[in-house]
Amino acid sequence: MTRLNALSPDEVSGKTKEMFNAIHSKLGVIPNMMRTMGNSPALLEGYLSFSGALGSGKLGGKTGELIALIVAESNACNYCLSAHTFLGTNLVKIDAETMNEARLGNSKDPKINAILKFAQTLVQKRGHASDSDVETVKAAGVTDAEVAEIVGHVALNILTNYFNNTANTNIDFPLVEVNQ
């Protein structure tokens, strides 16, 4: 059972209505996470702004989706695993094997593998990366800007994982569950 209400787009007004309209025009739907975040227009606006900014960053959409999968797996967030599996498959066209590997923090591409390992390390160490952790990811060809964006993607996904786990958001994507 959900713990926070997902707002009906027909019953909101003001800033929330504007954001819902923008989301709907972009995605064709308003996912339950965003409908639930709409209870706090400040949170929804912050999420949308941060997500939009990272979406136009150096790492790109595919890498962002792969990071989202390892973070969701690490934080046991079925909503985010379901959403990012759907988006990875349908929006940025990532194959199932690549996504399944990403959930384990692995990739056949050495640079992506280093990025996923670093993201997983950030979650496990609660952001306290060591000199060695940063040196390792940079040795794989990851730039300072990309390291910064990895931290941003991890932080954004921790936000959504914690939000959805707290709200127990109703999953409105094909269900994908955490590996046990």
First to last CA, the chain: 22
Q: How confident is the model at residue 1 (pLDDT cuts 50, 70, 90)?
A: confident
The helix or strand, by DSSP H or E, that contains position 129, with its residue range, turns out to be: none
> How high is the mean pLDDT of the chain?
97
Structural domains of the chain in order of their starting residue, each with its CATH number: 10-55 (no CATH), 60-167 (1.20.1290.10)
Report the distance separating Cα 60 and Cα 108, nearest Å.
18
Q: Residue range 53-79: average pLDDT?
A: 97
Distance CA 177, CA 72 (A): 10
Locate tokens 């390992």: which residue?
117
Contact 157, 72 (CB under 8 A): yes
44 closest CA partner among 36, 32, 53, 54: 36
- The per-residue pLDDT for range 87-141, each reduced to its tens digit, is 999 999 999 999 999 999 999 999 999 999 999 999 999 999 999 999 999 999 9
The structure's pTM equals 0.96
